[in-house]
Structure 1
Amino acid sequence: MMQKLKRLVAPLSTVTLAVGLLAGAAYPAASAETPAGAMQNYVVLYKANGVSESSLKSVAAAGGTVVHSYPEIGVAIVKSDRAGFGPALKARDGSVQGAASTAALGVALGDSGADDAAQAPVAPGEPAPGNDNLSALQWDMDQIQAPAARALNGGSASVVVGDIDTGLDYTHPDLAPNVDFGKSVSCVGGVPNQSPSAWMDDNGHGTHTAGTIAAAKNGIGMVGVAPNVKIAGIKAGNADGFFYPEAIVCSFMWAAAQGIQVTNNSYFADPYLFNCKNDPEQRAIWEAERRAIRFAQQSGTTVVAAQGNFSDDLAHPTRDVMSPDNYTPVSREISNACAVVPVEVAGVIGVTANGNKGFKSYYSSYGVGSADVVAPGGDRRLQVTPAAVNGRVLSTWPASAPCAASLKVVDAGAAYCYLQGTSMASPHVAGIAALVVSTGVTNPGAVSARISGTADGVACPDTAMYAPFPSASNGAPQVCQGGTGNNGFYGKGQVNALRAIGG
């Protein structure tokens, strides 16, 4: 199985590899059927927002075991080794809207450990002026005026950002001061597990995004956008970088229960890049995840998400050559009935990536209606500058995770790594959202409006520069539609941390 973060989220080689697959690979039909005896997870979607006792009994009668249920949104996570479990459950229980298999992941039964938590009052943010040892390498922060913003307001310790990712290295000295152990969790497998060893980052990606959000102002290394806020590691991606539906649902329900004010989402939910609502299985996955995201938003959580790294126009999708990405992908025609989760869920702040010259990064997906703002994600091909010497974004990195010697920086024994991708852009916006919440603006809609309303408008560029980088999904050239105030490449413009906090 190919590691998904290397193909889709990890930013170093995404587009080159994806275009190669598009140009030369054959795609035999995928077989999502599970042989008898293979344990598999299912997302079971009910027609109403509730999971009745009789429905849980029907799961057992159909050959399944309930791993966890979320009656607030009418979703249950179930495991079964019975072939044909999904259709059998739907035939037995008329309240089931859909049952979608995800992947053969082992899960453990147990209490979630989560208690209902209302959004707590936000204490005023404190200034965090000055630089740390590697601040001169953080062109990305200068580009969005983050140092000037944190000199006025570096965030409040009563604000928590949930980084839904591959976990985080809570021993990293730039993260350790800000890690909220009480609100960190692993959701891999669909069951919340608060053991720190469970949500420790075994990939590196989550540690990188966490540093951009909230690396401490502590005299070493780098400084995050919001260095005074707390960061909760919500591990939804496994070591291979797959983010399965049961983990996504669990993560957003956890964020809601814990009163987490902001989540960063630098991934797309597997196993389908595009979930098509005219397919029963994909529709069940889409709806379960949408309900969980909506529940978190209604509970006060601002949701920020990366746009993707395939040079795709999400407003005009025509082909998906990458799904299901945990089996052999099948090239299929798609339409706007198909959407990427979480970035295309209503109310989610969609983020494209740019480089140090201010242009959209060559790999960044885009689209009118899905792109809300742009933030630094890096660009090693078109936007290498004296400030961005390799085009990429520097952030925290686990000492044990591989990082190319030419891209690795060490300060006071702590590791940092240069990466690029919309995965790197999204946490900049999540950090700004945390700063906005620290000013007392807590409603997700108001936070989103503040971020987009204070962004610096960017006009569409000359798209001739993107000719070597067509869509990895359908080979279409990259086209920017719209004006300076709102277009498919940049949304409302580049985020401005200083303006967002009223500076």
Structure 2
Amino acid sequence: MMSASRGRFAALVAATALTALCTFGAGTAANAAPAAAPATTPTATSVEGELNSYVVNANKANPGQVRKVENAVVAAGGVVVQTWPEIGVIVAHSTSATFRQDVVKAGKNSIESVGATRTTPVTEGTPAGVQAPWGPGASSWKGQVKPSNGDIDAPTTPATTTDPREKDQWDMTMIGADKAHAVTDGSRNLLVGVLDSGIDPDHPDLQANISIADSVNCGDAGRPDSSATGWYPTTSDHGTHVAGTIAAARNGVGITGVAPNVRLASVKVVNDGGFIYPEYAVCGFMWAAERGMDITNNSYYVDPWMFLCDDDADQAASYEAVRRAVAWSQSRGVLNVAALGNAGLDVSQVNTDDSSPNDTDPIARTVDPKTCHKAPADVDGVVTVTSVTSTKALSYFSNRGLGEADVAAPGSSILSTIVNNNGWGTKSGTSMASPHVTGVLALMKSVHPDWSNAKLTQKLFDDATATPCSAPQANYGPACVGDTEYNSYYGHGIVNALAAVQ
């Protein structure tokens, strides 16, 4: 696992190194609201002349336009690594220092934007088997795979007994999940995508619920790798912990998840260095759409920038690619949940960032919350989550903000599944809060399978336990703003699993 100064998977609490969303405690941004929205400071964002990865966004998502962009990539000295024709996004590699300018010139008005996705050379190299001019999936117009139609690898019938460590799951009691289980443990027809670092394939609390056919590794330069072990965790058990909160099975061992009978897909979007680059996230959302997933959990922000700003060409192109992928997944019925982050910021008012880029040396820069975005949390339709403690106070590390926080959920010292010895351990972060919300939505959709995502989301907000502003402690960060019904700490309130299934 990488150090706390690199990547967003930094240790937060407990005796052993634990992982959670965002770099914590290093290089956090200032919280004071500016008198006037400042301009974002453009930054250099690539290693010119070395192998780098780019997203090239076509003006239109149609076969002819996409083909022009693919040809332009090759003409500019690049290699098409992956094309997502449904959204007009092409992932390219190039060692040319002038690739951006050259591809736009060769594209002849077919390109909306192009940008480097990282500030360090591509560590995985250009994947083997990619042939110029067109990579896998390019202009196939059929997607990578067909939906699995609900194939289940190891169906189980939930037991009516409690699991031995449920007594330690204060978080489930807080949100009423224990009472909700008297109504439903979730439907086997429901498939939840865990876009994360992989899920332990033989953990006794998870194995029965993992859909192998729907699992994938997107960390190979943003191409979907569905090989037998590609989606396994390697350097982080973050995804395994997240998965346990969502759907650890009720099976007489360990813990019980919020929705212990739903199926899980391991969608690995984290590379071995701990980074989630834009092309990885795009692949994850597109895979979720093509596999017919119902809900995805996203306990991360897209690297290497905490905020992707409109007036930086690279960052703007990266955000647009992720935005298109999220929107496509939503158009295919996927409901996406995201953690809001662990920098202790009011992200509606932040004006500086000195923690990015996190794959090379961070630089101090000015940001404007109106034109700088968190991916995927800022994309329309994504449910965003803050973290609370066992006393219902906002976790000190949790990001917050009016118009940014949708709901809150337990995220401090959460007991869940870990890889080490196929065991259980505690972690803290909004990464741990988000899967509670994902699980609640899974229970809700299990009892209301025909409801639209908009209706499910509205019920989630309406049923949340309205929570008034809590007083900030020393070094707590920005104070709470708003009223009991909606505020910057809790959004619409703390999620309520029991109400969700009634």
Q: TM-score range by the shorter chain?
A: 0.7 to 0.9
* Distance (Å, rounded) in 2 between the aligned partners of 1:257 and 1:338: 29
Whether the 8 Å CA contact 2:21–2:299 is kept in 1: the answer is: no
Where does residue 41 of structure 1 map in the other structure?
53
Partner of 1:209: 242
| Structure 1 pair 215–462 and aligned structure 2 pair: CA distance change class (3 A) | same
Match of 1:160 in 2: 191
Q: 1:32 aligns with which of 27, 35, 45?
A: 45
Aligned residue among 128, 140, 156 for 2:171: 140
- Could you give the per-residue CA deviations for residues 80-136 of structure 1, whole angstroms, max 9, x where no partner exists? 122221221112212112211124142423756832439879xxx987643111111
Question: What is residue 388 of structure 1 aligned with on the other side?
Answer: none
Q: Which is worse superposed, 7-16 or 54-63?
A: 7-16
CA distance in 1, matches of 2:475, 2:191: 41
Which string of whole-angstrom CA distances, capped at 9 and with x for unpartnered residues, describes residues 19-49 of structure 1? 45459xxxxx97533243x322111111222
CA contact (8 A) 1:128 1:227 kept: no
TM-score (norm 2): 0.86
**CA offset digits 1:220-247 (Å, max 9, x no partner):** 0111111100000000011232110010
1:143-200 Cα offsets, whole Å, 9 max, x none, are: 1111111221000111000000011111111110000001100011210011132110
Amino acid at match of 1:302: L
How many Å separate the matches in 2 of 1:290 and 1:341? 8
Aligned residue number for residue 405 of structure 2: 371
| Aligned 1:124-203 pairs, distance under 5 A | 129-188=160-219, 189-202=221-234, 203=236
1:320 partnered with 2:350:
no
Give the Cα–Cα distance (whole angstroms) in 2 for the partners of residues 143 and 246 of structure 1. Answer: 37
Which runs of 4 or more aligned residues in structure 1 lie more than 6 Å from their structure 2 counterparts after TM superposition?
14-17, 118-121
Q: Is the 8 Å Cα contact of residues 49 and 74 (structure 1) preserved in structure 2? A: yes
1:415 aligns with 2:423: yes
Contact 2:60 2:66 in 1 (8 A): no
**Could you tell me which amino acid in structure 2 is paired with residue 174 of structure 1?**
D
Closer, same or farther in 2 for the Cα pair 1:319/1:434, shift >3 Å?
same
2:287 pairs with 1:280: no
CA distance in 2, matches of 1:214, 1:15: 20
Matches of 1:7 and 1:43, distance apart in 2: 20
Question: What SS does the corresponding residue of 1:196 show, helix, strand or coil?
Answer: coil
In structure 2, relative to structure 1, the CA distance for the partners of 1:165 and 1:270 (3 Å cut) is same
Confirm or deny that 1:460 pairs with 2:460: no
Paired residue secondary structure (1:268): coil
Which shifted more, 242-251 or 128-137? 128-137
Partner of 2:433: 425
**Residues in 1 aligned to 2:183 and 2:485: alpha-carbon distance in whole angstroms:** 27
The yes-or-no answer on 1:97 pairing with 2:133 is: no
Distance 2:306 2:334 in 1: 24
- Structure 1 residue 346 corresponds to structure 2 residue 365: no
Offset of residue 277 of structure 1: 1.0
Distance 1:67 1:431 in 2: 34
Say whether the 8 Å CA contact 1:30–1:327 is kept in structure 2. no
- Separation in 1, partners of 2:115, 2:21: 29
Distance (whole Å) between structure 2 residues aligned to residue 238 and residue 208 of structure 1:
17
How far does residue 16 in structure 1 lie from its aligned partner after superposition? 12
Amino acid at match of 1:344: D
User: Where does residue 76 of structure 1 map in the other structure?
Assistant: 90
Equivalent positions of 1:9-24 (< 5 A) are: 9-10=9-10, 12=12, 18-19=24-25, 21=27
User: Is it true that 1:447 corresponds to 2:456 in the alignment?
Assistant: yes
What are the superposed Cα offsets for residues 284-343 of structure 1, whole Å, 9 maximum, x if unpaired?
111110010011011100100001000111111211111111111111111121111111
Residues 249 and 257 in structure 2, CA contact (< 8 A), matched pair in contact too: yes
Q: Does 1:397 align with 2:429?
A: no
- SS of match in other structure, 2:459: helix
Q: Which amino acid aligns with 2:357?
A: P
- State whether residues 315 and 369 of structure 1, in contact with CA within 8 Å, keep that contact through their aligned partners in structure 2: yes
How far apart, in 2, do the equivalents of 1:128 and 1:366 lie?
A: 38
Shift of 1:498: 0.6
Contact 2:21/2:430 (<8 A) preserved: no
Amino acid at match of 1:8: R
Which consecutive unaligned segments of at least 5 residues does structure 1 have?
Answer: 24-28, 379-391, 400-412, 471-477
Q: Paired residue for 1:494?
A: 494
- SS of 1:457's equivalent in the other structure is coil
Whole-angstrom distance in 2 between the partners of 1:140 and 1:9? 22
Amino acid at match of 1:279: D
The answer to whether the 8 A contact 2:158-2:251 is kept is: no
Q: Distance in 1 between matches of 2:164 and 2:99?
A: 56
Deviations 1:341-400 (A, max 9, x none): 11111111000000100011000001111111000001xxxxxxxxxxxxx11110112x
**Counterpart amino acid of 1:85?**
F
2:68 matched to 1:54? yes
Q: Aligned partners of 1:461 and 1:194: how far apart in 2? A: 46
RMSD, aligned α-carbons: 2.7
* In 2, Cα distance between equivalents of 1:7 and 1:420: 16
Render the CA deviation track for 1:237-277: whole Å, top value 9, x for unaligned: 11232110010111101100110000000000011100111
Give yes or no for the alignment of 1:245 onto 2:278.
yes
Quote the Cα distance in structure 2 between the aligned partners of 1:254 and 1:16: 24
Matched residue SS, 1:186 = strand
Cα distance change, pair 438–362 in 1 and its aligned pair in 2 (3 A): same
- Residue equivalent to 1:434: 442
- Equivalenced residues, count: 461
Give the 3 Å change call, closer, same or farther, for CA 120–444 of structure 1 in structure 2.
Answer: farther
